[in-house]
Amino acid sequence: METELFKNTQPEILSLPSIKTKSGTIVAGFSTRIGGLSSSPYATLNFGYHVGDDPEIVTQNRRRFGELIGIEPEKWIAGEQVHGNEVASVTQADAGKGALDYSSTLSGIDGLLTDQTNSLLTACFADCTPLFFWSENTPAVGLAHAGWKGTVGEIAAVMTQRFFQDFGISAHDLKAAIGPSIGPCCYEVDDRVANRVKEISGIDDHDVLEMKDNSRYMLNLQLLNKLILLKSGILAENIFTTTLCTSCHTELFFSHRKEGGPTGRMMGYIGIISGD
């Protein structure tokens, strides 16, 4: 039976186990909504500059979180997150992009990967699925933002292929974790979304869609992303799926769907930290 990989190590953070590699230590995690300075409806640890919160407060939240994880925002990198499937390899030269403002994010990008040390990949979430990737033998990491549009665009497969293209890492050498996101218990969609799911080749839509009445469905985004990762060649034993639903646990997470209006954003992060 698969155990929960995301551990609540302190109120602000769900951490993945750190991994020692020849380049440095792979660190990864996912923030909670607890422990920040933002006021309702962004209470309290909001990382989103684009949701209407006071940007100065968001910056303070980010700097405080940087102190907690021991990696200052000047080393963070973020994509624009347009619900697409475009990904980018980044280097230390990209450090700071999107870290302390929204305007400097990497345009049109929903997935990031790197084999360089001391560059922390970050992305914001409030129900969408975070996908974490790492390779230990040839150290490299990745992070993707997979809402329903990115998921049906198979950003999971795009990320997997880019590890091979950019770093020569095969899918069998990759591991992946599917982080806290809205679960099949809470994610109701219509025919428009369901039909896009049905168009994905090599996936049995009956595995991820449960039909309700009136052409409504419950969609399992977490499982759908896992099936796409499997189809891409990542081994089943190397894929870890959370048991945490953001909509069920609004005491711990922001949920765009459950809260039905303006709300904050959590942050996922992963990097290879050398200690230099």
CB 76 within 8 A of CB 98: yes
Which CATH number goes with the domain that contains 70?
Answer: 3.60.140.10
* Residue 94 domain flag: yes
- CA angle 102–106–108, rounded 5-degree value: 100
* Residue 1 domain flag: no
CB 112 within 8 A of CB 80: no
Q: What is the predicted pLDDT for the residue at 1?
A: 46
* Residue 188 domain flag: yes
For residue 251, give every residue at least 6 positions away whose Cβ sits within 8 Å of its Cβ, in sequence order, or none.
none
- DSSP H or E stretch at residue 111: strand 111-114
The low-confidence residues of the chain, meaning pLDDT below 70, are: 1-2, 276
* Residue 48 domain flag: yes
Q: What is the predicted pLDDT for the residue at 215?
A: 84
CA distance 55 to 25: 31
- Look at residue 257 and give its three-state secondary structure: helix
Q: What is the predicted pLDDT for the residue at 5?
A: 93
* Residue 148 domain flag: yes
C-alpha distances (whole Å) from 122 to each of 78, 101, 128, 192, 237 are 5, 13, 14, 30, 25
- Look at residue 264 and give its three-state secondary structure: coil
Tokens of 79: 């994509």
* Residue 51 domain flag: yes
Strands 266-273 and 76-78 come out as unpaired
Q: What is the predicted pLDDT for the residue at 265?
A: 98
Domain enclosing residue 249, as ranges: 7-273
CA distance 235 to 74: 35
Q: What is the predicted pLDDT for the residue at 54?
A: 98
Among residues 205, 204, 242, 213, the alpha carbon closest in space to that of 6 is found at 242
* Residue 2 domain flag: no
Q: Specify the number of domains making up the chain.
A: 1
* Residue 36 domain flag: yes
